[in-house]
Amino acid sequence: MRLTICAVGRLRRGPEAELVADYARRFDRLGRGLGLGSLDVAEVEDRKGGGPTAEAVLLERAIPQGALRVALDERGQTLTSPQLAKRLAAWRDAGHRDAAFILGGADGLCPRLVEGADMVLSFGPMVWPHMLARVMLAEQLYRAATILSGTPYHRA
């Protein structure tokens, strides 16, 4: 199963981009052996300033066809890291080929993307800058892979 982070905005050079790339590389090393494939990032940018509605059109194009859709929204479900790991394993074991984690821009996701998601995930009731949310998501996906592989990265 391949995982894709579909996100509004382009990470320029800097600490956020370095962290996302680092966690994606780490995930790739573990993920392939676990049947989770690679962790890819698809970035979209609405240069015309159309807001969440215009961003939704671009995000939908970036989502792999037939992928499970996980929308990130502060009103979503909160999971522990082991619960996220179990969810990924269940999707993999059910034969899903792709899962897309959808991150909106500064104004959040278009409501229709949230409503059409297979799961709505939250990092808690606080609102996080979308660039930091991308780093946090990449780290949590890597952490989930370490939990599934039994490595000592996650200490609960």
In a domain, 156, yes or no: no
Domains identified in the chain, total number: 1
Q: What CATH number corresponds to the domain at position 119? A: 3.40.1280.10
Residue with tokens 């899903």: 96
Predicted confidence at residue 10, as pLDDT, reads: 87
In a domain, 117, yes or no: yes
In a domain, 7, yes or no: yes
Q: Which domain covers residue 51, as residue numbers?
A: 2-149
1, two tokens:
């199963």
pTM over cut 0.85:
yes
In a domain, 155, yes or no: no
Through-space distance between the first and last CA atoms of the chain, rounded to whole angstroms = 26
In a domain, 95, yes or no: yes
Predicted confidence at residue 91, as pLDDT, reads: 97
The CA–CA distances, whole Å, from 123 to 1, 45, 73, 86, 117 equal: 23, 23, 8, 17, 16
In a structure prediction context, what are the per-residue pLDDT tens digits for the chain, which is 156 residues long?
A: 999 999 999 888 889 999 999 999 999 999 989 999 899 999 998 887 788 889 999 999 999 999 999 999 999 999 999 999 999 999 999 999 999 999 998 888 999 999 999 999 999 988 888 889 999 999 999 999 999 999 888 876
In a domain, 154, yes or no: no
In a domain, 20, yes or no: yes
